[in-house]
């Protein structure tokens, strides 16, 4: 199977089986999504969604969050991973939005990565989710799934390398949706430790599954 055929098969599968693919973070506007994505680093979306309602009620805008002190904000996110750093990041982010962007969330990756707590992955999430820009955020799920399905080469060893290969082959208009396809597939089917291969409709073209079967053949006891 050629790389082009492999991508076509994967895209066709997701278009049929996951026509609606969106972030599972709860938000009502770009500022809320930015806060939620910053909090979601090394934390589950479920935990973030349990935490953000109180934050959004007290700090619905960058202007209000910029006035918060560490002691004001920290109690609201203490249940999130790395609450000390994330508290500082949120306050710093809100202040920079006020100082440099008139309180509005910018919509370019180059501008977003200037904000405290925002790296390339977060910037790609914001621009793809809010503005449907063809930016691919590579988290642990995207990295794992794209490798197992052989969408990217085995030598692609960094998130940036994986990102570049994915956007090279995925049609531009589908990149923002493909990001969610890969994340959700990794979150619920292609699990890190115990992937649900028997439930996966992509197993017939999966490099990981093929190796798994080959390994089973080599280790199975002889029956005669």
211 given a catalytic annotation: no
- Per-residue pLDDT tens digits of the chain, which is 224 residues long: 899 999 999 999 999 999 999 999 999 999 999 999 999 999 999 999 999 999 999 999 999 999 999 999 999 999 999 999 999 999 999 999 999 999 999 999 999 999 999 999 999 999 999 999 999 999 999 999 999 999 999 899 999 999 999 999 999 999 999 999 999 999 999 999 999 999 999 999 999 999 888 776 444 343 32
| Residue 121 among the catalytic residues | yes
- Count Cβ atoms below 10 Å from residue 95 Cβ, excluding itself: 17
Q: Annotated binding residue at 206?
A: yes
- Which one of 121, 196, 204, 212 is the catalytic residue? 121
What is the domain-level CATH number for residue 172? 1.10.1670.10
C-alpha 156/C-alpha 173 separation (Å) is 23
Domain that holds residue 164: 3-21+136-216
pTM assigned to the model: 0.90
| 8 Å CB contact between 88 and 70 | yes
Domain shared by 42 and 127, yes or no: yes
- Does residue 64 belong to any structural domain of this protein? yes
What DSSP assignment string belongs to 61-127? SHHHHHT--HHHHHHHHTTSSSHHHHHHHHHHHHHHHHHHHTTPPP-SHHHHTTSTT--HHHHHHHH
């Amino acid at each position: 199977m050629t790389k082009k055929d492999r991508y076509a098969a994967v895209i066709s599968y997701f278009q049929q089986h996951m026509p609606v693919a969106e972030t599972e973070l709860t938000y009502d506007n770009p500022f809320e999504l930015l806060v939620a994505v910053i909090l979601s680093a090394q934390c589950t979306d479920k935990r973030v969604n349990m935490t953000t309602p109180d934050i959004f009620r007290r700090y619905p805008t960058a202007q209000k969050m910029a006035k918060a002190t560490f002691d004001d904000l920290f109690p609201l996110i203490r249940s999130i991973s790395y609450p000390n750093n994330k508290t500082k990041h949120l306050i710093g982010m809100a202040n920079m939005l006020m100082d440099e962007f008139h309180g509005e969330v910018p919509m370019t990756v180059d501008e977003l990565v200037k904000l405290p707590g925002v790296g390339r992955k977060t910037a790609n999430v914001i621009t793809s989710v809010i503005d449907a820009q063809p930016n691919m955020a590579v988290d642990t799920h995207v990295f794992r799934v794209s490798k197992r399905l052989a969408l990217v080469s085995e030598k692609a060893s960094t998130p940036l390398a994986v990102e570049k290969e994915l956007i090279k082959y995925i049609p531009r208009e589908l990149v923002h949706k493909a990001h969610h396809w890969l994340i959700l597939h990794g979150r619920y089917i292609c699990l890190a430790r115990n992937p649900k291969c028997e439930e996966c409709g992509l197993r017939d073209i999966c490099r990981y599954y093929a190796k798994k079967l080959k390994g089973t053949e080599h280790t199975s006891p002889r029956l005669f």
